[in-house]
Amino acid sequence: MTDSAKLDHIVVASADLDEGVAWVEQRLGLALPAAGGKHPLMGTHNRLMRLGEASFLEVIAPDPDAEAPTHPRWFGLDHPPATPRLAHWLVRWPGLTRQAIPGVNGPAIRQRRGDLSWLITVPEDGTLPHGGAFPSFLDWEMAEEAIPPRAMPSLGFDLTALRVTHPEAPRLAETLAPVLQDPRVSWRTGAEVALSATLAGPTGDCILD
């Protein structure tokens, strides 16, 4: 029996972490929590905010104080976007190394931040799968009730919708369908790759795209 996969988090990529945080805060109308940390293996750092019960928002950027990695950074951050944007999404899949991972996600590698360790699929060239439209997969390697998102600070926002636009949207949706069934995720065919997330919270609905 295949372990259940769930939408884990959405990713805002930025050339500068403070700029990325400010971009999100302007849309939320509230200051982001201070939670986050550094990824020495990838030369990046982030800020985090829980969404609902067990998902979260990540703002990530190259860390100017870190030693440059000898391999490509994840999330395409060797070439970050000129302005912050919603760039990617991730699905958590228990028992990741036992699964037949769909798509072009690359191998599952081990990552660490402080005492936390997890597995995540990262293409060898560091690029985003299908321009960010197709999710990466991760495994927190712990019981669902103990996963890190549940302990992250919350501002009362929830992820209510994620729209994925891609020239081959029907094919990507079909590839992912056996793994993830989430009514919040919708697919749209379009010339350009784009993600748009709707967050509902104390300041009303806001859009990250």
Is 78 part of any domain?
yes
Q: Where are the beta strands (DSSP E) in 66-184?
A: 85-92, 108-113, 116-121, 136-139, 158-166
**4-13, 30-39, 105-114, 183-192: range with lowest mean pLDDT:** 105-114
Is 46 part of any domain?
yes
Q: Are 150 and 53 in contact (CB under 8 A)?
A: yes
Tell me the per-residue pLDDT of 137-170, one tens digit each, with 9 for 90 and over. Answer: 999 999 999 999 999 999 999 999 999 999 999 9
- pTM of the predicted protein model: 0.95
Is 132 part of any domain?
yes
Task: Report the domain count for the chain.
Answer: 1
Q: Cα–Cα distance between 175 and 163 in angstroms, integer?
A: 16
Is 68 part of any domain?
yes
Tell me the per-residue pLDDT of 44-85, one tens digit each, with 9 for 90 and over. Answer: 999 999 999 999 999 999 999 999 999 999 999 999 999 999
Is 205 part of any domain?
no
Is 186 part of any domain?
no
Give a three-class secondary structure readout of 138-172.
Answer: EECCCCHHHCHHHHCCECCCEEEEEEEEECCHHHH
Q: What is the band of 3 on the pLDDT scale with cuts at 50, 70, 90?
A: low
Q: Cα–Cα distance between 140 and 144 in angstroms, integer?
A: 9
Domain of residue 78 covers 6-154
Q: Specify the CATH number for the domain of residue 60.
A: 3.10.180
**Res. 1: pLDDT tops 50:** no
Q: What is the band of 97 on the pLDDT scale with cuts at 50, 70, 90?
A: confident
Report strand pairing: 158-166 vs 185-189. parallel
Is 178 part of any domain?
no
**Res. 25: pLDDT tops 90:** yes
Which pLDDT score is estimated for 104? 65
Q: Cα–Cα distance between 62 and 78 in angstroms, integer?
A: 8
Residue whose structure tokens are 């990530």: 60
**Mean pLDDT computed over 99-107:** 77
Mean pLDDT of the chain: 94
Is 38 part of any domain?
yes
Residue of 56, 24, 11 lying closest to 150 (CA atoms): 56
Which pLDDT score is estimated for 66? 96
